[in-house]
Amino acid sequence: MNISSEVEATHLRIAEVVQNLHSRPGTDADTVIAELAEHAAVEIPGAQYAGITVTRNRKHIDTPAATHLYPMLLDKIQERHREGPCLTAAWEEKTVHVADLETDTRFPQYRKDVLAETPIRSIMAFQLFIAGETMGALNVYAEEANVFDNDSKTIGLIFAAHSSVAWNSARRDEQFKNALASRDVIGQAKGMIMERYGVDAVQAFELLRKLSQDSNVPLIKVATKLVNDTKSEAG
């Protein structure tokens, strides 16, 4: 099999992985991104470890998925110094390649701590397109220098594109389910107020909203407490 055929075969495997995640019922966003990270470490040539970096403002970094302790530790180092290849990929560039951390001088503080605290020597980071204000990157790492090549970049970009779509889709599904659950609880609370005080639906909702504002507690929490308290009284 030639190089292009290998890349095409990998592309098809990645598409199949994402399709399987989409079709599996009840898969949450955390599971989706964790499984994608595991597959990235296997499918991207040269990778030993993989992780996902997520940030809103560079000051705080989350690692929602990692195949090893090292990706989480490297994100902590990036957060410490507010610099690094994964942050740069998330905010500025589509792909950042550190061929050899021993000789790369772009991220001096990050480089110093990574060399001191981990055996990682090669990094390739790919921007993830996440809905909203959050920025992210899919990152792969290796303990040996100069292991990532053009095939690594090609496959990594494909994987990052698929990962962005899969994760955004899973997050939207979760938000939709949460919205439905919230609507159901608020509906129950309105019904209880209507029955207890003999008011209509609009008046019941206004009462809930006023309770929320006066107590500075989110409406859904006010409704949930009312429903739970009423059920406890009934029980």
Per-range mean pLDDT, top range of 31-40, 72-81, 168-177, 194-203: 72-81
Question: Are 116 and 188 part of one and the same domain?
Answer: no
Question: Are 24 and 103 part of one and the same domain?
Answer: yes
Q: Where is pLDDT greater, at 3 or 90?
A: 90
Question: Are 128 and 220 part of one and the same domain?
Answer: no
Q: What is the pLDDT of residue 30?
A: 73
Question: Are 216 and 182 part of one and the same domain?
Answer: yes
Strand partners, 178: none
Question: Are 104 and 154 part of one and the same domain?
Answer: yes
- For the entire predicted model, the pTM comes to 0.68
Question: Are 143 and 30 part of one and the same domain?
Answer: yes
Q: Which CATH number does the domain housing residue 184 bear?
A: 1.10.10.10
The boundaries of the domain holding residue 161 are 3-172
CA distance 223 to 205: 10
pLDDT at 118 over 70: yes
pLDDT at 210 over 90: no
Instruction: Show Cβ contacts of residue 205 under 8 Å, excluding neighbours closer than 6 positions.
Output: 186, 190
Q: What is the pLDDT of residue 132?
A: 64
- The structural domain count of the chain equals 2
* pLDDT tens, residue by residue, 135-159: 889 999 999 999 999 989 988 998 8
Closest listed residue to residue 167, CA positions, set 155, 156, 175: 175
pLDDT at 213 over 70: yes
pLDDT at 67 over 80: yes
Q: What is the pLDDT of residue 23?
A: 66
Q: What is the pLDDT of residue 131?
A: 64
Q: Where is pLDDT greater, at 163 or 115?
A: 115
Q: What percent of the chain has pLDDT over 90?
A: 35
| Domain stops at, among 156, 172, 188 | 172
Where does the pLDDT of residue 1 fall: very low under 50, low under 70, confident under 90, or very high at 90 and above?
very low
CA distance 157 to 159: 5
Q: Where is pLDDT greater, at 195 or 1?
A: 195
Mean pLDDT of the region 124-138: 82
Instruction: Show Cβ contacts of residue 123 under 8 Å, excluding neighbours closer than 6 positions.
Output: 74, 85, 86, 96, 97, 98, 101, 139, 140, 141, 142
pLDDT at 172 over 80: no
Q: Where is pLDDT greater, at 180 or 105?
A: 105
Q: Give how far Cα 222 sits from Cα of 74, 192, 202, 217, Å.
A: 40, 13, 17, 7
CB 63 within 8 Å of CB 71: yes
Mean pLDDT of the region 98-113: 96
Question: Are 91 and 132 part of one and the same domain?
Answer: yes
27-36, 69-78, 165-174, 188-197: least confidently modelled range: 165-174
Q: Which CATH number does the domain housing residue 147 bear?
A: 3.30.450.40
Question: Are 221 and 106 part of one and the same domain?
Answer: no
Question: Are 225 and 168 part of one and the same domain?
Answer: no
| Domain stops at, among 153, 172, 191 | 172
| Domain stops at, among 172, 191, 206 | 172
Question: Are 62 and 120 part of one and the same domain?
Answer: yes
